[in-house]
Each structure stands twice: as C-alpha cells, then as structure tokens.
C-alpha cells in the first residue's frame, strides 16, 4: 500500500514540484520583503532572519506518516525572525496582523513546550494573486536566548528519523 501511495504521489509531483519550488521561493521572497518593511517602518532591530522550504523528502515522510495531502501541511515554507527583545517581537506580531489574515497563532512563551522551547508561531494566508500552490506562510518569532537554546541547548530540535523508516 505504501509503495502504491509513493508511486501515485510521484506521478502527481512532476506537474507540481517545479511550480512549488519556484512558487515558494517567490512567495518567501515577497513575504520576507513585507517583514523587512514592517521591521524598518516600526524601527525594530533583529538578530537574524531566515526562510526555508521543507525538503521534498521531509514533506513526503510527513505525508506518509500522517496520511494527509502534501499541500495541506502548514509548515512547507516559513520564515524565522530572531528579536533582541520580547517587546519588539510582540510589536512585530501586532503590526503583521494589520497586513495579513492570521489563521493560527501559538505563543510558546505563554505555554512553553516540555523541553523549554519558546517562540511565537504565526500562520497566515498569502494574499492573492497566489504565486504558489501552498496558501499559508508560517513565521516563527523568538528572542536571541531562546533561539540559541533551540539550536544548541536543552530545547534543540531533534527528529527521530528511526521512527520514520
């Protein structure tokens, strides 16, 4: 059954994989521009910003694990902004919601994960015209200390790849 699902998925992907990669890069570029504009107009300084598109293999693994369509995943592409202060981070969140239709928000500062992870995840719809089949962008906002804890410290992300195979 899994082999049939993979074959069906590969049969569908040649039509969409190229458009997804090109479209997601265009969308992330456009949305990063909006983020930079907000940061500049409000006078917010940040430690770093980054963007990423989930790899095809990771998206496929998630599709097989959850049994959901690949384009229904809300984390296929996203941005990360690392702020120097929580006040600046919450200001950015507030201003962003004036420009985009926020469909999901999780404040891990108010409700930290069991491993101590703290950030705000904001998901919003990309406005028309759609340049990509993916309709949501997720922004992860955090502060410098929390960011480095998530990279090197106790709350670092570690996938259990052995559970996927």
146-165 pLDDT, tens digit per residue, is: 888 888 877 666 554 444 44
- Higher confidence at residue 102 or residue 114? 102
Instruction: Quote the tokens at residue 165.
Output: 């195979």
Q: Summarize pLDDT for 126-143 with one digit per residue, the tens.
A: 776 566 667 788 999 999
Q: What is the per-residue DSSP string for 54-116? A: --HHHHHHHHHHHT--GGG-TTSEEEEEEES-HHHHHHHHHHHHHHS-EEEEEETTTS--TT-
Q: What percent of the chain has pLDDT over 90?
A: 41
**So what's the pLDDT on residue 29?**
84
Domains of the chain from N-terminus onward? 2-163 (3.30.460.10)
- Closest C-alpha to 106, from 133, 141, 64, 155: 141
**So what's the pLDDT on residue 125?**
83
What mean pLDDT, rounded, does the chain reach? 80
**So what's the pLDDT on residue 151?**
82
**So what's the pLDDT on residue 164?**
43
Instruction: Quote the tokens at residue 64.
Output: 């097989």
DSSP, res 127: P
Query: Average pLDDT, stretch 80-94?
Result: 97
Is the pLDDT reported for residue 11 higher than 50? no
* Cα of 136 vs its chain's centroid, Å: 9
Q: Summarize pLDDT for 13-54 with one digit per residue, the tens.
A: 443 455 555 567 777 888 899 999 999 999 999 999 998 888
**So what's the pLDDT on residue 55?**
79
């Amino acid at each position: 059954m899994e082999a049939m699902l993979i074959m069906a998925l590969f049969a569908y992907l040649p039509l969409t994989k190229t458009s997804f990669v090109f479209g997601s890069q265009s969308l992330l570029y456009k949305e990063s521009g909006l983020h930079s504009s907000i940061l500049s107009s409000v006078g917010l300084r940040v430690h770093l910003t980054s963007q990423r598109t989930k790899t095809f293999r990771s998206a496929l693994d998630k599709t097989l694990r959850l049994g959901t369509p690949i384009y229904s995943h809300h984390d296929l592409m996203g941005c990360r902004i690392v702020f120097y202060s929580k006040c600046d981070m919450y200001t950015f969140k507030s201003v962003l919601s004036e420009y985009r239709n926020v469909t999901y928000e999780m404040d891990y500062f108010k409700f930290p994960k069991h491993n101590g992870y703290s950030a705000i995840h904001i998901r919003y719809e990309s406005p028309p015209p759609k340049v990509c089949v993916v309709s949501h962008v997720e922004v992860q906002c955090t502060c410098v200390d929390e960011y480095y804890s998530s990279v090197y410290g106790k709350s670092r992300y570690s996938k259990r790849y052995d559970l996927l195979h």
